[in-house]
Amino acid sequence: MTSKDLNRLKKLCESKQIKISLAESCTGGLVSSSITSIDGSSNFFESAIISYSNNAKIKLLGINRNLILKHGAVSKEVALSMAKNLHRLTRSHICASITGIAGPGGGSKQKPVGTVYFSIYKKIGNKIKINNYKKIFNFKNRIVIQKKSNDFLLRELIDIID
């Protein structure tokens, strides 16, 4: 993600008066850091919660413990709940979440290292739009998976706002 792309995100949000909040897990704040690296990001970036552990997801975002037990912290269901609950907390126009397995350990046959779920909850006026994504980044390098996840989510945010 280039600074040109980030400035495009900024201009889109400012022109449409959109506020963004993030709930990050496997990226550990990388997406938030990318956004706040540009001057004037406080005009559109509302907040971020880094809910790395299951306990943080439960306590900070109000994720139902049974949802995690049933589907796993790395799942579409948890990513969606993270984004929805973040909206309830922040009332930002766009709330995005990311949860995944950055590795190099922790993967399984069903969810290999590089499996990442994203959810984007957009509410403008009375219109709600939800986008869910599953990506499998075929790398064994934690930093590469985090960077690919960062870039994917930022590109999706630009596309959704544009």
User: Mean pLDDT, to the nearest integer, of 27-53?
Assistant: 97
Query: What was the pLDDT predicted at 110?
Result: 94
**pLDDT of residue 1 exceeding 90:** no
Mean pLDDT of the chain: 97
Residue 70 contacts residue 37 (beta carbons within 8 Å) = no
Strand spans (E) along 3-77:
20-24, 45-50
**DSSP state, residue 138:** -
User: Mean pLDDT, to the nearest integer, of 35-64?
Assistant: 97
Angle between helices 142-161 and 3-16 (to 10 degrees): 40
Question: 0.95 cut: is pTM over it?
Answer: yes
Residue 50 CB contacts under 8 Å (≥ 6 apart), including other chains: 24, 25, 28, 29, 32, 56
Q: What domains can you pick out in the chain, each with its CATH number? A: 3-161 (3.90.950.20)
Query: Which amino acid, one-letter code, is at 68?
Result: I
